[in-house]
Chains A and B, each alone.
Chain A
Amino acid sequence: MIALLTRDLRLAIRAGGGFGLGLAFFLIVVVLVPFGVGPQSALLSTIAPGILWLGALLACLLSLDRILALDWEDGSLDLLATSPLPMEGIVSAKALAHWLTTGLPLVLAAPVLGILLNLPVAGFGWLVASLALGTPALSVIGTFGAALTVGLKRGGLLLSLLVLPLYVPTLIFGAEVARRGAEGMALTTPLALLAGITCGTIALLPFASAAVLRANLR
Chain B
Amino acid sequence: MSLNALWEFANPRKFIATTDRVLPWVAWAAALMLVAGLVWGFFFTPDDFRQGSTVKIIYLHVPSALMAINAWLMMLVTSLVWIVRRHHVSALAARAAAPVGMVMTLVALATGALWGQPMWGTWWAWDPRLTSFLILFLFYLGYIALWEAIENDDTAADLTSILCLVGSVFALLSRYAVNFWNQGLHQGASLSLDKQENVADVFWYPLLATIAGFVLLFVALVLMRTRTEIRARRMRALLARERMQA
Contact = CB atoms under 8 A, between A and B. Distances in A.
Given a CB threshold of 8 Å, the question of whether A touches B is answered with: yes
Given A165-B135, A215-B155, A216-B155, A148 B146 contact: yes
B80 interface: no
Interface size class of A (residues with CB under 8 A): 20 to 34
A197 B176 CA distance: 12
Nearest to B139: A165
B149 A212 contact: no
Contacts of A172: 174, 177-178, 180-181
B3 to A, nearest CB: 27
From B141, B155, B159, name the one whose CB has the most chain A CB atoms within 10 angstroms.
B159
Most buried by B among A152, A172, A205, A216: A172
Nearest to B141: A161
Given A152-B149, A215-B159, A216-B159, A165 B142 contact: yes
Nearest to A144: B166
Interface string B162-175: 11011100110110
Q: Interface range on chain B: under 10, 10 to 19, 20 to 34, or 35 or more? A: 20 to 34
A128 B166 CA distance: 28
Contacts of B165: 208
B150 interface: yes
B39 to A, nearest CB: 38
A137 B192 CA distance: 36
A169 interface: yes
Interface string A177-198: 0000000000001100100010
B157 to A, nearest CB: 9
Contacts of A165: 135, 138-139, 142, 167, 170-171, 174
A162 B141 CA distance: 8
A176 B173 CA distance: 15
16 contacts: A155-B149, A158-B145, A165-B139, A165-B142, A169-B174, A169-B177, A172-B180, A172-B181, A189-B180, A193-B177, A197-B173, A205-B166, A208-B165, A211-B158, A212-B162, A215-B158
Interchain residue pairs A-B with the least CB separation, the first 10: A215-B158, A169-B177, A172-B177, A169-B173, A165-B138, A162-B142, A168-B174, A161-B142, A166-B170, A172-B181
